[in-house]
């Protein structure tokens, strides 16, 4: 059994997520968030989604950490918000978690060949990707060829985000 | 405004690490069709290497001139991506259908392979330029010279 590897990983995931919320120094919170992303990348790799794991490791542990740090340098580094949690949050969030756990029972098993996601069109991609595009990595051929419109619009979104940041963060007095 | 880091260890290590990171980013970008990776990840790694050079050598340092020059290419990646789709239109097919890329001497799967590679380069350029641009605009919005970095 590989459970000796999985359970510490999931415990680490929960602990880093809680630590990033609870810690008062915001720079520490940013670094704990980076380690959270890295253990999340390990979880993706364990589930077999290597491309997602790669993106999570690079973007979550690398790029967003730098962005958060650069933002913190121009603001305060202490978390000054110390409100007592309202009772709706204290009652509502555990209830929501229980509801999600209850709903997770109806999800198909991991890797189930009879699940709706594997029944529809994904088997076509898996069979025809190598012959039609000479691309062994099916994720690349789906993203860039079969679903290239989605990727084009996604690229437009990233471009728009860069332009918007440049406008919003422009120095007022040059 | 990011100043130059004054530690010799950081600067020496940066001179070693940054080219390796750029090489790895290019490898991930080009090899994305045969292994994990692709345009997005390769672009982010390239952007990270340039942000690292900004953080180490300063925003005006001679070693981060690549990061400053890269800013002029904003929108170029999008142009490459949509341009490949437009070339497919010129070739007589549908938009983004790489089988009608007019490249002599290539059969249809190789044309699709070429189209995937070119669009991945487009995504990488777009993501890389956007990452460097966001990092630079975040660091330029400081009120005074706090000299943290």
pLDDT of B149: 45
In chain A, the N- to C-terminal Cα span, in Å, equals 62
Per-residue pLDDT at A1 exceeds 70: no
End-to-end Cα spacing for chain B: 9
A139 near B38, Cβ under 8 Å? yes
Q: Residue B92: inside a domain, yes or no?
A: yes
Cβ within 8 Å, pair B119-A151: yes
Taking the C-alpha atoms of residue B83 and residue A67, their distance in angstroms, rounded to an integer, is: 31
Structural domain boundaries, residue B47: 8-139
Q: A8 pLDDT exceeds 60? A: yes
Instruction: Please give the residue of chain A at the shortest CA–CA distance from B75.
Output: A159
Residue B145 lies in a domain: no
Selected residue of B81, B82, B110 to mutate for chain A interface (largest A Cβ count, 10 A): B81
Number of domains in chain B: 1
| Domain residue ranges of chain A, discontinuous segments joined by + | 1-79, 116-174
User: B74 touching A, CB under 8 A?
Assistant: yes
Burial of B8 (0-12, 13-18, 19+ CB in 10 A): exposed
Q: Can you list the residues of chain B whose pLDDT is less than 50?
A: 144-149
Q: Is the pLDDT of residue A133 over 90?
A: no
Question: Interior CA angle at A151 toward A148 and A152, to 5°?
Answer: 85
- Return residues 97-116 of B near A (CB < 8 Å): 98, 108-110, 112-113, 115-116
Predicted TM-score (pTM) of the model is 0.87
- Kindly list the residues from chain B whose CB atom is less than 8 angstroms away from the CB atom of residue A74: 138-139, 141-143, 146
Has residue B144 been placed in a domain?
A: no
Which tokens is A78 given? 């202490």
Q: With CB atoms and an 8 Å threshold, state whether B135 touches A169.
A: no
Q: How much is the average pLDDT of A122-150?
A: 88
Confidence check: pLDDT of A102 > 50: yes
Interface of A with B (CB under 8 A): 50-51, 53-55, 58-59, 62-63, 66-67, 70-71, 73-74, 131-137, 139-141, 143-145, 148-149, 151-152, 155-156, 158-159, 161-163, 165-166, 169-171
Confidence band, pLDDT 50/70/90 cuts, at residue A63: very high
Mark out the alpha helices in B2-147 (DSSP H runs): 8-30, 39-57, 65-70, 76-90, 108-139
Give the model's pLDDT for residue B22: 93
Find chain B residues with C-beta within 8 A of A136's C-beta.
33-34
Q: Which residue of B has its CA nearest to A50?
A: B36
Predicted confidence at residue A78, as pLDDT, reads 78
Name the pLDDT band for A56 (thresholds 50, 70, 90): very high
Distances (CA, A) of B27 to A53, A138, B21, B31, B118: 17, 18, 10, 6, 15
For the ranges A38-42, A132-136, B23-27, which has the lowest average pLDDT?
A132-136
Query: How much of chain A exceeds pLDDT 70, in percent?
Result: 95
- Fold that domain A1-79 belongs to in CATH: 1.20.120
Q: Do A66 and B51 touch (CB under 8 A)?
A: yes
Asked whether the predicted pLDDT for residue A16 surpasses 90, the reply is yes
The pLDDT value recorded for residue B64 is 81
Q: What is the pLDDT of residue B147?
A: 46
Asked whether residue B13 is assigned to any structural domain, the reply reads yes
Residue B149: inside a domain:
no
Residues of B in contact with A135 (CB under 8 A): 33-34, 112-113, 116
């Amino acid at each position: 059994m590989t459970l000796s590897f999985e359970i510490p990983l999931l415990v680490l995931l929960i602990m880093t997520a809680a630590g990033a919320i609870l810690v008062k120094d915001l720079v520490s919170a940013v670094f704990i968030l980076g380690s959270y992303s890295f253990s999340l990348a390990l979880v993706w790799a364990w589930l077999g989604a290597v491309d997602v794991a790669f993106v999570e490791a690079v973007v979550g542990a690398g790029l967003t950490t730098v962005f958060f740090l650069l933002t913190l340098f121009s603001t305060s580094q202490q978390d000054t918000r110390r409100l007592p949690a309202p009772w709706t949050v204290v009652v509502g969030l555990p209830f929501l978690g229980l509801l999600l756990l209850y709903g997770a029972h109806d999800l198909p098993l991991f890797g189930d060949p009879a699940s709706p996601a594997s029944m529809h069109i994904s088997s076509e991609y898996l069979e025809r990707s190598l012959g039609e595009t000479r691309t062994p990595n099916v994720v690349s051929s789906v993203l860039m060829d079969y679903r290239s419109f989605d990727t084009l619009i996604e690229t437009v979104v990233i471009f728009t985000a860069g332009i918007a940041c440049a406008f919003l963060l422009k120095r007022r007095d040059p | 405004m990011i100043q130059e880091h004054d530690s010799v260890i950081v600067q020496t290590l940066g001179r070693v690490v940054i080219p390796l990171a750029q090489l790895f980013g290019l490898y991930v970008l080009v090899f994305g069709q045969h292994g994990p990776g692709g345009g997005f990840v390769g672009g982010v790694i390239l952007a990270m290497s340039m942000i690292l050079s900004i953080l180490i050598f300063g925003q005006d340092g001679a070693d981060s001139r690549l990061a400053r020059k890269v800013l002029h290419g904003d929108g170029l990646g999008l142009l490459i991506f949509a341009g490949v789709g437009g070339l497919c239109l010129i070739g007589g097919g549908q938009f983004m259908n790489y089988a009608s890329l007019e490249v002599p001497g290539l059969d249809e799967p190789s044309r699709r392979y070429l189209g995937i590679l070119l669009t991945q380069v487009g995504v990488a350029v777009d993501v890389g330029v956007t990452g460097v641009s966001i990092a630079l605009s975040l660091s330029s919005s400081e009120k005074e010279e706090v000299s943290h970095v």
